[in-house]
Structure 1
Amino acid sequence: MIDRRSLLLSAAVVGIATTTSGADAQTPPPDVPGGSHVPGLPEPTETIDLWPKGAPGMPARPPVEIVDERSKEAQLGDRAVHGTTRPRLVVFRPLIPNGSAVLVMPGGGYVRVVIDKEGYEIAHWLAARGFTVFVLFYRLPGDGWKAGPDVALSDAQRAMRLIRARARDYGVMPERVAAMGFSAGGHVCGDLATRFATKTYDPIDAADRLSARPAVAAHVYAVQSMTLPVAHAGSREQLIGKDASPALEAAHTPASNVTRETPPTFLVHAEDDPAVPVENSLLYRAALKKAGVPVETHLFTAGGHGFGLRYAAGKPAEAWPDLFVAWARTQGFG
């Protein structure tokens, strides 16, 4: 559970965050040159830079942020960002906040972070149901950051703490912040859920005294294991290297790090997933059960990988977002 001291501290930190958040210009959301957007779908404009003085551990040769539009359909965007140097949250505010927030971590195999399919689409959907949503554009381990395989976790920890620090600004209760991750973003989510207290960066302000533990965590066709053949080979190579030792594999496999403090968990996977085998979710579920952590699991016979919202339409898997909301209510999320 989030300790009482952290919750009380968050109220004090809100005052600090409120006075500084509007003073500094924030990095805009990632976008393609010229901004070819989906007609009728509003683009977000509000962002929060995670690191006011720049992300720690910058490589000697900093990456260059590039956004690609991969869609061949004019009515369906599929942007992806590479080389993030200014990790940030893109904010989706609901018309009527229900007091709960979701930190969304899109996938991309640790070589990119997708924008639309596993970011903005689920953010719009959740915001329409009262959730305040923060889509995280995290740094990538293959870009040479000092934190190495912990660099995305650093961003996720900092993001969770900033959301709590600014909870009052967004009509959010600090104890009702969920984490949701897709594919490789599901691995970031698993790292956050199991290693939320691991020190991966030096504190920079009062927000870093807050807990980074999500109240609940949702993993959607998530990368979890770093051991072949269950591991997604591409994510594994980007995160820990092709020749990683068994010890390094275990250190970055969330199932190996589950404890009784891991938050209640919601799992979604398709059994015919050709990219991230369903065993990733099954092994994680087994570890949660062994530790006594509540876990809700939904396996679909068909659906493949990366279905998000758009490719689940018309299939049984399209029920997963409603199933998540129903489950979240049982965990105290309004």
Structure 2
Amino acid sequence: MFDRRNLILGTLAASVAASAPSQTPPPARAGDAPVPGLPDPVETIDLWPKGAPGMPAVPPVETVDQRSTDPDLPDRAVRGITRPRLVVFRPRIPNGAAVLAMPGGAYTRIVIDKEGYEIARWLSARGYTVFVLFYRLPGDGWKAGPDVALSDAQRAMRLIRSRARDFAIDPERVAAMGFSAGGHLCCDLATRFAAKTYDPVDAADRLSARPFIAAPIYAVQSMTWPVAHAASREQLIGKDASPALERAHTPAENVTKQTPPCFLLHAEDDPTVPVENSLLFRAALKAQGITVETHLFTNGGHGFGLRKTIGKPVEAWPELFIEWARTQGFA
């Protein structure tokens, strides 16, 4: 049960936790100057207390690339994650709900600002506690192969729930949101939250990894041609994947009656990830009787996040998500 007493106790615990030293710092480039008024977060949670399982023989090297030429509008991406972790955005007054945000990057990198920190700031300003997930990438040679990012997402959901009191959140009300390839991970988590992708490491792994609701945004979904996004498919399952492997990693093939309610968003002019990815997932959800809200916009392209929506109808999408989430009892 989540009540006012839990909120007060959780807020007190959160103030203590906020003063504790960080674990592995957020991904960053040495020498980068902070953007005025938009300081980077500092609080993190390492997913694996004894290190991530299944380390490659030659571990990747974590590298952050800056893709923007505007110092006031950073567009960083990180690759070579070996210490998967959550970066925490605490609201001033928590509303009791949390969001696990999974940025995209074609499973070759993870976008930091455009699909991570920006939506996290927007949601936390409205009372949501947001955890941005920096997950391991399937092309880096981890033992779990195409399930490695899902392992991190499952573990992240369980850790958030295990520490709900620290963050003044209801452990049941934890949503998943993902963008592009992070949208595939979001769909994967929504449909395969109970799949055994790693050996339990502590008490947190006894908790459910099922999101309360899920929001795949312009998501990669299908691994089958011609709908598949080529770069994400190659990184996840390889160029020559069998039809069986394609189906195993196409979330529409894995929808069950336990899949949580979903909010789907896509632009019909998306030149990178065809809108059919979301349409096929919607059809699979409907076939199982799962509640689904779907918004298709004529214009928007791909990877719009928040910054590329200004002045377009698609600019309304975050508010649409919030209003729909309320109808599901999320906040």
Q: For the Cα contact (< 8 Å) 2:18–2:43, is it kept in 1?
A: no
Summarize the alignment of residues 315-330 of structure 1 with structure 2, pairs less than 5 Å apart.
Answer: 315-330=312-327
TM-score, scaled relative to structure 1: 0.93
Aligned equivalent of 1:46? 43
2:75 to 65, 74, 78: 78
Q: Kindly provide the CA deviation profile for residues 49-81 of structure 1, in whole angstroms up to 9, marking residues without a partner as x.
A: 000110000000000000011101121000000
Residue in 2 that maps onto 1:279: 276
Partner residue, 2:34: 37
Deviations 1:20-58 (A, max 9, x none): 999885100001111333221121000000001100000
Amino acid aligned to 2:157: M
Structure 1 residues 146 and 20: alpha-carbon distance in aligned structure 2, compared to 1, 3 A threshold: farther
**RMSD (Å), alpha carbons:** 1.8
Are 1:66 and 2:63 counterparts? Answer: yes
Distance between the aligned counterparts of 2:33 and 2:83, measured in 1?
22
Please say if residues 247 and 253 of structure 2, whose CA atoms lie closer than 8 Å, have aligned partners that are also in contact: yes
Q: 2:188 aligns with which of 188, 191, 194?
A: 191
Once residues 39 and 323 of structure 2 are traced to their aligned partners in structure 1, the CA distance between those partners, rounded to angstroms, is 27
Query: Match for residue 26 of structure 1?
Result: 23
TM-superposed CA distance for 1:314, in Å, is 0.8
8 A Cα contact 1:142 1:238, kept in partner: yes
Give the aligned partner of residue 8 of structure 1.
Answer: none
- 1:76-124 CA-partner distances (Å, limit 9, x unpaired): 0000000000000000000000000000000000000000000000000
Q: Distance in 2 between matches of 1:324 and 1:133?
A: 15
Q: 1:34 to 1:178 in 2, by over 3 A?
A: same
User: What is the CA deviation profile of residues 271-293 of structure 1, one whole-angstrom value per residue up to 9, with x for unaligned ones?
Assistant: 00000000000000000000000
**Among 218, 237, 248, the residue aligned to 1:221:** 218
C-alpha spacing 1:70/1:330, structure 2 compared with 1 (3 Å):
same
In structure 2, C-alpha distance between the alignment counterparts of 1:22 and 1:41, rounded to whole Å: 20
Shift in CA distance, 42/224, structure 1 to aligned 2, threshold 3 Å: same
In structure 1, stretches of 5+ residues that fail to align are 5-13
Question: Which segment drifts farther, 318-327 or 22-31?
Answer: 22-31
**Deviation of residue 313 (structure 1)?**
1.0
Q: May I ask how many residue pairs the two structures share in their alignment?
A: 320
Ranges in structure 2 where 5+ consecutive residues have no aligned partner: 2-9
Rounded to whole Å, the distance in 1 between the matches of 2:220 and 2:287 is 20
Moved over 3 A (4+): 17-25
In structure 2, the CA distance between the partners of 1:291 and 1:79, relative to structure 1 (3 Å rule), is: same
Provide the C-alpha distance between the structure 1 equivalents of 2:50 and 2:290, rounded to a whole number of angstroms: 38
Residues 1:150 and 2:147 aligned together: yes
After TM superposition, list the pairs within 5 Å mapping 1:99-138 onto structure 2: 99-138=96-135
Q: Percent identity?
A: 77
